[in-house]
Amino acid sequence: MTDFVAFVGAGPGDPDLLTLKAVDRLRRADVVLFDDLSAGPVLDHVRPGAAVIAVGKRAGRPSPSQREVSTLLVDHARTGARVVRLKAGDPGIFGRLEEEIAALRAAGIGFEIVPGISAGQAAVAAAGIPLTRRLAARRVQFVTGHDVTGTLPAERNMAALADPDAATIVFMPKRTFPALAADLIAHGLPGDTPALFAERVGHPDQRLTRTTIAALAATLAAGMSDATALVVYGPLLPDAA
């Protein structure tokens, strides 16, 4: 059997949002290496007897290094096993996919990418919000709320981030959004710009809060839970309620 790895998008956590191709790869896998955020009922599609290995990284918790994860991928693929690398959301959106592809290429191992539904897409869908709106939200941008040090990225395109015609999805924003919001307002984006704060997207305890960038910044500055979250801001539809 040719050495091969399937990078599979697990979506935001709801197994109903898996693609048919993702389910097929999980059912045929001999080895599944999964992130913390791709665990839960999604793994119910893995066949009995397959090796299921947790390799997720969470802030402030012990976790394998990226080098260790890449080594595991290569080692398991070289046995001829059908290997799935299960990543939360879409593998290509802030999922360290590039490093793992580089390791496979260096080892001469083939791969495929099975896309998944991003948590950002799932959040706005659950809130009944279109990401694009004719004549209003002309552009969508996906950005990270922190760099490798856990702080707000030093190099930020504030003209793009403060674009009033763009819908912006900020991943991993909780610790840094108050500072980002201050920068946005300083660069001309109104403090009452609509925002959606989405926690535990795709899980039974999902929570969606309609607010503004200024109000959300104040809320997060006052304290936050450990729940995974993202922020969407821009020309969003007003709350139907």
Which are the catalytic amino acids?
35, 57, 172
Q: Are 11 and 17 contacting, i.e. CB atoms less than 8 angstroms apart?
A: yes
**CA angle in degrees (0–180, nearest 5) for 144-201-237:** 80
Residues 6+ apart with CB under 8 A from 7: 84, 85, 87, 91, 97, 100, 101, 111, 112, 113, 114
CA 173 to chain centre: 11
What letter does residue 99 receive in the DSSP assignment?
A: H
Judged by DSSP in three states, 188 sits in: coil
Computed from CA positions of residues 128, 132, 134, 137, in that sequence, does the dihedral angle turn out positive or negative? positive
* Token pair in block for residue 6: 């399937």
Cα 11 to Cα 206: distance, rounded to the nearest angstrom: 14
* Token pair in block for residue 5: 């790895």
DSSP tally for the chain: helices H, then strands E: 7, 10
